[in-house]
Amino acid sequence: MTNLTLYDSFDWTKFLQEYWQNKSGIFNDVLKEPLATPEEIFEGLLKVAEQYYQDCDKPTTSNTIERSRDGEQRIADIKFLTKKSRIIGDLHEYMPTRNDSNLKNYSKRLENVFGGTYLLYITNFYYYMPDAWRRTCDFLKNLYQVAGLPADYTDLELFIGTYPLTAGGIHRDRSSNFHFVVDGQKTMYVWPRQEFWKEGTPEHLKSRKLDKMHLNEYLEHGIAYKGQKGDMIYWQPNYWHAGSSEVYSASLVIAVNMNGQLSKLFVQGINNILKNKTINKIPAIELNKTFAQEELPEDFVEANQKILSDDKLLNNIRLSWLQHASNFGFKYKLKPRETVNILDTSEVVFSAFSSILCLRENDKIAIVSNGHILSFNYCREVEKLIEIINLKESLKINEIFAKILVSNSNQSSTIEILRNVISKLYSIYSLEINTQS
Ligand SMILES: [Fe+2]
């Protein structure tokens, strides 16, 4: 696959040797095209607003668009932060509308609403922006080839606003951060390592707790990266850091959390077996009674038996791992897009960032790509289709079928199955379909 995003002059090998998990830096020769333009970010924000209008419980004290009710997916966290606090409650009036026209105007409106200073921070922003997601994958593939996939997750976060200091002030995260200034100017202040405080902090500051909200006291002992539109600032986990945007800026941050809990995939595998079953209550323990093993609530005993007697546990864990690995470390898979009409002359172009994976289990075949698991009844032709797609050559639909189908077989039903698989793979962004008129 051609390198869509990076400048040839950006030296990944040097970056990985010198900077990755080791030190901070600013780079101005990384991306040929931004992860997202201000126009795309504005469109993404309108989708966030749409989601907020759909999800928001009214009246509510909820301050996010995240959903936490049983069985519902928690997607993004949206925070409007002012000088002193996070806005809670109804966020309708702060959401963008078409009347704002563009990102800068929208930001201007928020500045006015919040008295000149505000920060809008959104996690998992890629969920609303498939193009930005694609460019982020393109960027990350270089990193992952050497550093491996994050055992935890990668996020694409949006920061937009005008603020003298990041809400919360100087802080540390556990992620490696690739901070791209997409619009305006922004300064990131970093203080390398905790040891820095021992070595580089003057005596009169050592004796007291870090004054997180007063940047000025520590400025001369840190590093200031003044980012312009197009620049990337990198800093490694556990660096103390704070951002400052005295004038309007918009940034996209790829935050890579490498360290994850080993148990996570097991939990996911068990969830698959139990079909994410929830229970609405468990019986209360009778007072003055000794708790014995047989008194585990019936639901737990049943679930335990199901897990232990299920020979599919390893398979489910394997599937969870494939799902995680195929999703480029992102927490959430993209929402499937609407499918398109597939003609015999349509051209299929491979667009997944890693091979499409298959896992056969008896009469079923699971196809895993971009974090999605597609399940079909097993047939050799489906397996063959994936093998052909994974060759990553552009082919017309009729050429693909000619490679797969044996004459005299029941072609029409097989063609229907293959079309269905291609259509589903398109909807999860694993391939593109070019239909020329
Ligand atoms: Fe941070």
Please give the single-letter amino acid code of residue 432.
E
Residues 12-49 have pLDDT tens digits of: 899 999 999 998 999 998 999 999 999 999 999 999 99
Q: What is the pLDDT of residue 72?
A: 46
What is the pLDDT, as a whole number, of residue 189?
Answer: 93
Report the amino acid identity of residue 88: I
Residue 205 pLDDT > 70: no
Residue 204 pLDDT = 64
Model confidence pLDDT, tens digit, residues 206-263: 666 666 777 777 777 789 999 999 999 999 998 889 999 999 999 999 999 999 888 8
Q: How far is the CA of 185 from the centre of ligand 1 (A)?
A: 17
Tell me the CA–centroid distance for residue 64 and ligand 1, in Å: 19
In this prediction, residue 186 carries a pLDDT of 96
pTM score over 0.85: yes
Residues 6 or more apart from 42 whose CB is under 8 A from it? 96, 100, 102, 103, 106
pLDDT at 76 over 60: yes
CA 156 to centroid of chain Cα atoms: 6
Please give the distance, rounded to the nearest whole angstrom, from the Cα atom of residue 178 to the centre of ligand 1.
11
Q: For residue 374, what pLDDT band results from cuts at 50, 70 and 90?
A: very high
Instruction: Please report, rounded to a whole number, the percentage of residues in the chain having pLDDT higher than 70.
Output: 86
- For residue 3, the CA-to-ligand 1 centroid distance in Å is 29
Average pLDDT over residues 398-407: 87
What's the CA-to-centroid distance between 191 and ligand 1, angstroms? 12
How many C-beta atoms surround the C-beta of residue 241 within 10 A? 23
SS3 at position 205: helix
* Predicted pLDDT of residue 262: 85
Q: Look at residue 410 in the predicted model and tell me its pLDDT.
A: 67
Q: What's the 365 CA to ligand 1 centre distance in angstroms?
A: 42
Res 269: pLDDT = 84
The Å distance, Cα 241 to ligand 1 centre, comes to 6
Could you read off the pLDDT of 111-129 as tens digits, one per residue?
999 999 999 999 999 988 9
Tell me: pLDDT of 351 over 50: yes
65: left (phi over 0), alpha (psi -120 to 50) or beta: alpha
Q: What is the pLDDT of residues 317-330, one digit of tens each?
A: 888 888 888 999 99
Identity (one letter) of the amino acid at 52? Y
Rounded CA separation 37/274 (Å)? 43
Taking the centre of ligand 1 as the mean of its atom positions, its distance from the CA of residue 151, in whole angstroms, is: 20
Measured CA distances, 131 to 34, 127, 134, 190, 298 (Å): 11, 10, 5, 30, 48
In the reported structure, the alpha carbon of residue 170 is separated from the centroid of ligand 1 by a whole-number distance in angstroms of 8
Q: Kindly indicate the confidence band of residue 3, based on its pLDDT and cuts at 50, 70 and 90.
A: low
Strands 240-257 and 153-163, how do they pair?
antiparallel
Please say if the pLDDT value at position 182 is more than 60: yes
Distance 40 CA to ligand 1 centre (A): 24
Where residue 4 falls among pLDDT bands split at 50, 70, 90? low
pLDDT > 60? residue 71? no
Residue 59, pLDDT above cutoff 60: no
Pick 427 or 2 by higher pLDDT: 427
As a whole number of Å, the end-to-end CA separation of the chain is: 26
Which pLDDT does position 62 carry in this prediction?
38
CA of 239 to the centre of ligand 1 (A): 9
CATH architecture, domain 347-434? Alpha-Beta Complex (3.90)
Tokens of 150: 């994050």
pLDDT given at position 78: 83
> From edge to edge, which strands make up the β-sheet containing 372-377?
357-361, 364-369, 372-377
What does the buried/exposed string (b/e) look like for 44-63 if buried means 16 or more CB atoms within 10 Å of the residue's CB?
bbbebbebbeeebeeeeebb
Q: Where are the domains of the chain?
A: 12-257, 263-310, 347-434
Cβ atoms 125, 51 nearer than 8 A: no
Q: Ligand 1 centre from 394 Cα, in Å? A: 42
What pLDDT score does 235 carry? 95
User: Which burial class, exposed, middle or buried, applies to 195 when counting CB atoms under 10 A from its CB (0-12, 13-18, 19+)?
Assistant: exposed
Residue keyed to tokens 């799902």: 323
The lowest-confidence range among 87-91, 156-160, 194-198, 433-437 is 194-198
Please report the pLDDT score of residue 293 as a whole number: 54
Torsion region of 226: left, alpha or beta (phi above 0 gives left; psi -120 to 50 gives alpha): beta
Please give the mean pLDDT across all residues of the chain. 86
Q: Over the stretch 289-307, which tens digit does the pLDDT of each residue have?
A: 666 655 788 888 888 888 8
CATH number for domain 12-257, candidates 3.40.50.300, 1.10.10.10, 1.10.40.50, 2.60.120.650: 2.60.120.650
**CA–centroid distance, residue 154 to ligand 1 (Å):** 14
CB 77 within 8 A of CB 122: yes
From the CA of 193, how far away is ligand 1's center (Å)? 14
Q: Which pLDDT value is given to residue 1? A: 40
Residue 2: per-residue pLDDT: 47
Dist. CA 94 → ligand 1 center (Å)? 23
| C-alpha of residue 150 to centroid of ligand 1, in Å | 18
Mean pLDDT over 345-369 rounds to: 90
Q: Would you say residue 135 has pLDDT above 90?
A: yes
